[in-house]
Each structure stands twice: as structure tokens, then as C-alpha cells.
Structure 1
Amino acid sequence: MAEKKLILSLEDCFKRPELDGGEEKRELWHFYRQETDEEAIIRRVKRDAYEHQTKYLMCSQSVYYALSLHLGMPNRDIYKAGSYLCGGMGGTNMCGCLLGARLALGQAIGRDEMYTPGWPRENGPSHLWDTLPIADMELSDAFRERFGSVLCHEIQENYFGRHFFLPSDYEDPVVWKIHETGELYRIVSVYAAVLCEFTAGITAEIILRERKKLGIPTPMPLPPLRQ
């Protein structure tokens, strides 16, 4: 039990012996206070995308999970659908991180029925039509600039020196051995977590920006009330 001491200044709060890491806590306190709400959302999205991939794998699900959770749009069916988009859909196609991001983009600012103005039979402006190609290009360009490609097997080649998920890869005894033990997916996940974190952060920025243009607030994610 610490001795009682009158505290009348913020600095004194961080000098109490029971506050482990007082200096670090003070720096974090100031950081969180100065951080905007949008910056906080983006930071948490990036954190949870990285953590999901590290613990549970499935890059497309990792990105979608973090975005849907912190942008107030969790959907278990969409999350489930993302399980078949990871690993470049067989190793030859687009990175699952980008596919998970597109699921979230579509849910957040996409059309929800076929008669949305401007799509596809009517001419005229629509926010979706104006936004979709720009957001798609912004996301892909940022990803390509950071990681050198948007294709799963090329990203693996750039980082690991070879790819792992093409059908022919499993004919390699070394690859097959680490596949059987499950180590292969942990190896790939070390780098995939970095991809998830980056992709989720860029996507969160896009969604928050477009919601602001449309006047759509981003709800605070709260757990459901107990009955």
C-alpha cells in the first residue's frame, strides 16, 4: 500500500511508485490525448490486423476482421467468405490482404442494390462510380509501391526468395515437409502480418475519408448490451 500523497499536478501522477513504467506511461498518455479519433481508429485497425494474422492466419480474414470491427460493420458471413480468398487463391492471384480490403470497401461504401443511380443503365454521377476506381487504384498503387507486386507468389519471391503456394511447390520434398507440420504457414505469416497491417491501415484511411464526404459517421465499436 503506497503512502498517501497529495497530487495536484499531472506530472506528479506519473511519479507514483505503483505506476510501473511511469515515464513510458506519461509519453503514452500524451500521445493518446493528442491523437485524433480517426488516427486512433487507424492505429487499432493496423494493430488488430497484424495480431489476427499472427495468431489465426488467413490474411484476407485478418484485414477484413480488423476493418469491420473498428469501423462498426462486423459481418460473420463476409468474414467467412474471406477464408477462401487467402494465399492468392491458390498462389497465383492477387494477395489475400487486398481481397479482404476490397470486401470491407464494398461493405462500407459499395452499392447495396442493383438500381443505384449511375449503375449500370443510367448515366450521371454517383459517389460509388466516382470513388470505386480511385480507391481501387490508391490501394493497389500504395501496396505495389511498398511490396513490389500485388500478386501473392511474386510477393513471396521478393521476400523469401521463392514462392510456396503454387501447386508445383508441393512437389518439393522440403516444402511438403514444412507444409505437413504446419510450419510453412507460420513462416509465411511472419511477413503476411506486415502486409495485413499496411493494407488495413490504407483501407481504413480510404473508408473514413469517403464516409466523411457522404456524411456517414463511424460508430464507436461497443459490445452488445447484456440481456
Structure 2
Amino acid sequence: MEKSKKELLDKAFKLGEKYEKENTGCAQTVIAAIFDTLGIWNEDVFKAASGLADGLGLTGDGACGSLVGASMVISWLYPREKKNFKDMMAPMKAYALVKKLHDQFVEIYGTCRCYDVQKKLMGRTYNLWDQKELNEAFSSGMMEHCSKVVGNAARLAVQIILEDKEKQ
């Protein structure tokens, strides 16, 4: 029996939240949640997100890794391939869907930058390369906050993907 859209969106959120709490690495955990929800997998996309957590390389100074990872899945599903690399219009579908994801994410968090999401949710940012601040981040509930961000990004991406499939 096919799952309802609501069930899939709930599954995406729950998996994103679970994977972030268990494994960390928001870009990879959101990819795994989206892929597992949709019943697909691409190891290369998953591996390519290895260094993208916490605003790129644990710096906080970039887009939220869950937003980047979710964008990677959309881009993989709506690609411009090497054979049409010169076609500037080929990635327009991916651009449009990723923009929709970005806009919805920003509507929730007011920003897409990792540090700014941290400030909004936890009142400050953390340097995860500093052991003392890493410990403070964990004791402040960062995992709980970030797991919900990953869950939301997974749910948003799955919703965008399903709505696009419904239009086809």
C-alpha cells in the first residue's frame, strides 16, 4: 500500500531528526533522510556531502548543511549532465526547486547561514573546532536544535519533490 503524502513528510522529518541525533553531519543526515523516505539511494551524492556540515567544514560560515544537502538531492533528481553542460537552461528546473526550498527554509529560520540559524535557535554560535565550545554546544542542546532543522529541511525537500512529481 502506497504511503500518503503526509506519512512521507512525517517520515522525512523523523528520519532527519533521528539520523542527525545518531550520526551528526547535517548535510549527509538530510540526504539519507530524503533518500530513505523516497526509497532511492546514491552513494556518490551521500559521500559528496561529507565535508558540508555546520556551514561548510564545521565553520558555521556558510549555508546550513541541511539546506545544502537537501539541495544536492534536488539537483541530483533534476540534473544538468555533462552531455548538456553548455545548455545554460538545462539546470533551470533544479534552480527553481532549490530556490523554493531556500525561500521556505528562510521563511522558517530567517536566514540560510548556519551561524545565524544557531544564533536564532540557541542565542549564540559555537566554534566546533574548539573542544570547550564543542562541549558547550552539546550541553546547550545543539543536537536537539540541529536535528529539528535537519528534519524540517528533509520534510521541505520531500514536499517540493512530491509536489513536482504530482504536476508531471
TM range, normalised to the smaller chain?
A: 0.7 to 0.9
Query: What is the percent sequence identity of the aligned residues?
Result: 23
Contact kept, 8 Å, 1:60 with 1:86, in 2: the verdict is: yes
- Greater RCO structure (CA 8 Å; 6+ sep): 2
Aligned ranges for residues 118-157 of structure 1 at < 5 Å?
A: 119-120=87-88, 128-129=91-92, 131-157=93-119
Following superposition of structure 1 onto structure 2, how do residues 1-227 of structure 1 map, counting pairs within 5 Å?
37-89=4-56, 90-115=59-84, 119-120=87-88, 128-129=91-92, 131-165=93-127, 170=130, 176-179=131-134, 182=135, 184-185=137-138, 187-214=141-168
Deviations 1:28-84, CA, capped at 9 Å, x for gaps: xxxxx9x96222222211110110011111111111001111213212222122121
The amino acid of 2:79's aligned partner reads G
Q: Is the 8 A contact 1:153 1:166 kept in 2?
A: no
Structure 1 gaps of 5+ residues are: 1-32, 171-175, 215-227
- TM-score (structure 2 length as normaliser): 0.85
Structure of larger gyration radius: 1
How many residues end up aligned between the 2 structures? 165
User: One-letter code of the match for 1:106?
Assistant: S
The normalised TM-score by structure 1 is 0.64
| Runs of at least 4 residues off by over 4 Å | none
Rounded Cα–Cα distance in structure 2 between residues aligned with 1:66 and 1:92:
24
Distance 1:69 1:161 in 2: 32
